[in-house]
Amino acid sequence: MPDSPVPMPSLGDHEHAVLAIDVGGTDIKIALVESDGSIIGLRRVPTKVNGEHTVATVVHTVAREAKQLAVDYPTIRPAAAGVIVPGIVDEEAGVCVYARNLDWHNEPIRAQFEAALSLPVAFGHDVRTAGDAELQLGAGTGVRDAMVVVIGTGIASAVFVNGSPVVSRGFAGEIGQNRVASTVYSAAVGDGPAAPTLEEIASAGAIARRYAEQSGEQVQGSREVLDRMLGGDPVASRVWNEATSALANCIAQAAGMIAPEVILLAGGLALAGQHLVEPIERHLDVELTIQRRPQLILAQLGGDAGLIGSALKARALAAGERTP
């Protein structure tokens, strides 16, 4: 599902203007954030992946765009930049350990951006940073123990304990790989050496793919599967039920292990709103025993949560606050 247009929230006042950068596998977003909280000059440029030169190309592209922003808005002088990237990200070391889409292995991203931008750089992981923005300005304001579940082509998450993200050298949050158990798709459990992963059952991509496999009909994406379910299609209904059951199973795993107060559903599939929340709630009735039942809420910041979080990290760095 495409990003739905959501109103850009106010970031509030801050003593410093900053540069916010969100490097994705498809495109790079870059913007200035004024000290009054407004996002200025937002531009998207495609991410050019060219093997070992990818990092240099990305850094060069960002530096060029930053220079153009400085020309376009000469009165805004950013005090720091926020840079977020996907994959396995070790914020503390400033290193992207691994990013499949970008073919990065142990790249010292922070240092390269600092050199190219001549600015202090707050470096972060895309999902954790977007999640942090939702907890600071979006749907989860004030929540200390939360898991943000981003459901799109794949599934990723950010886990927050006592207000801080769990990092574990960048390896935390890979719940797309968690194997899921549920009798609603026991057929899927029956064959392979291990149960299916959450991503194989419940990502937006999996929903579209599994519907096509089971119905013999191609669909544009998970949005169309949802529309068909609402129109009474039993195959769509089964695939959606399996997906929401798998999500409930993984949420129950979190409830047992770390007991988040809130599960924040984000990414394209979260645009399904109550059509996503309600079946997960029903499956949780069966999944949970004595665990604390988490509250399910929907993300509010849409596709710019990462960029906003990147700006918040840069502001914190500029203000001298400790930031991982």
Which residues would be at the binding site for its own copies (CB under 8 A)?
145, 147, 157, 159, 161-162, 164, 166-169, 171-183, 186, 189-195, 197, 249, 252-261, 286-292
Nearest-approach distance from CB 243 to its own copies, in angstroms: 15
Beta-strand relationship, 104-107 and 81-85? unpaired
Complex with its own copies: residue 40 or 288, whichever CB lies closer:
288
Nearest-approach distance from CB 198 to its own copies, in angstroms: 8
Complex with its own copies: residue 179 or 275, whichever CB lies closer:
179
Nearest-approach distance from CB 265 to its own copies, in angstroms: 16
Nearest-approach distance from CB 8 to its own copies, in angstroms: 31
Complex with its own copies: residue 65 or 132, whichever CB lies closer:
132
- Please give the angle made by the CA atoms of 103, 104 and 108, to the nearest 5 degrees: 165
CA distance linking residue 138 with residue 302, whole number of Å:
10
Nearest-approach distance from CB 260 to its own copies, in angstroms: 7
Complex with its own copies: residue 170 or 221, whichever CB lies closer:
170
Complex with its own copies: residue 43 or 169, whichever CB lies closer:
169
Complex with its own copies: residue 159 or 271, whichever CB lies closer:
159
Do residues 140 and 297 make contact, with C-beta atoms less than 8 angstroms apart?
yes
Classify burial at 234, counting beta carbons within 10 Å of its beta carbon; exposed 0-12, middle 13-18, buried 19 or more: exposed
What is the total residue count of the chain? 324
Do residues 262 and 297 make contact, with C-beta atoms less than 8 angstroms apart?
yes
Nearest-approach distance from CB 245 to its own copies, in angstroms: 9
Complex with its own copies: residue 4 or 168, whichever CB lies closer:
168
Nearest-approach distance from CB 311 to its own copies, in angstroms: 25
Nearest-approach distance from CB 24 to its own copies, in angstroms: 19
Nearest-approach distance from CB 292 to its own copies, in angstroms: 4
Complex with its own copies: residue 61 or 244, whichever CB lies closer:
244
Tokens 């070992």, residue? 52
Sign of CA dihedral 173, 254, 282, 233: positive
Complex with its own copies: residue 70 or 161, whichever CB lies closer:
161
